[in-house]
Amino acid sequence: MKLYDADPAPSPRRVRIYLAEKAISVERVLVDLKSGEHLQPGYLAINPRGTVPALQLDDGEVIGDSTAICRFFEALHPDPPLFGARPVEIARITAWTRRVEAEGYAACVYALRNVAGRFADRAEPGHWPELPQIPALAARGKRMWEAFSIMLDARLASSEWVAGDRYSYADITALVTVDFAKAVKLKLPEGVSHLRRWHDAVVARPSASA
Ligand SMILES: N[C@@H](CCC(=O)N[C@@H](CS)C(=O)NCC(=O)O)C(=O)O
């Protein structure tokens, strides 16, 4: 197996943190996003979506989505469970992961890709015909980010981890999202002390530096 990976992009980092938590090692192939290697024919032949991460299995099949890659490994190595064990845990972790992606991660993507010059006509990640930037979406992304952070802080006021009383894939997703927001200069609102307490705890895990 080969994991097509890139530093310091958030989606590949999500897979690396997951693999570190599970103590799974996979051969890594670095793709240079800065030079646009992911949009060259060589990489598009592997993953036509033109995004990282992508996991190429030994039979050649390619899984081109970070959560799908982690679910693949979870099915192979269920312990420790990061997608939940009991049905209700699985439901909670899925719901929180999807909410963090749709409200927090999407806010960062909108805020970054609709203004930064290097993403002109590439307003979404990956291989698209031509996707113009809409600056109003960047402004909306900023509003979404503030509302999302306040919502997550309220959640973490009553829950140790994002999806309940155990660290899970939802925490991994939220960690890469919060760090992505910082990298694209989206600030945390004043007073989100529960979110900061949680962030200190997830960053202290050795997997955070994977
Ligand atoms: N839903 C996909 C999204 C992958 C994605 O957006 N990857 C970004 C890096 S974080 C990428 O490949 N960007 C390439 C580009 O900027 O065109 C996943 O989770 O794997």
Pocket test for ligand 1, best of 47, 52, 97, 119 (most atoms within 8 A of CB): 52
Ligand 1 pocket, residue 65 CB under 6 Å: yes
Contacts by 80-84, CB closer than 8 A, 24 or more apart = 80/21, 80/22, 82/18, 82/21, 82/22, 82/167, 82/168, 82/169, 82/172, 83/168, 83/169, 84/163, 84/168
- pLDDT, residue 89, reads 98
Distance 50 CA to ligand 1 centre (A): 8
Q: Which atom of ligand 1 is nearest to the CA of 53?
A: 20
Ligand 1 pocket, residue 56 CB under 6 Å: no
- φ/ψ of 63, rounded to 5, equals -105, 115
Cβ-Cβ contacts under 8 Å for 21 (sequence gap 6 or more): 80, 82, 167, 172, 205, 207
Radius of gyration of the chain (CA): 17
Number of Cβ within 10 Å of residue 1's Cβ equals: 12
DSSP E strand stretches across the chain: 2-5, 27-30, 54-56, 62-63
Ligand 1 pocket, residue 10 CB under 6 Å: yes
Ligand 1 pocket, residue 168 CB under 6 Å: no
Distance 82 CA to ligand 1 centre (A): 22
Number of Cβ within 10 Å of residue 81's Cβ equals: 17
Tracing tokens 């997951």 back to the chain, one arrives at 18
Ligand 1 pocket, residue 177 CB under 6 Å: no
Contact status, residue 134 vs residue 110, Cβ threshold 8 Å = no
Short-list 140, 208, 141, CA closest to 179: 208
pTM: 0.98
- pLDDT, residue 198, reads 98
pLDDT lower than 50: segments of the chain:
none
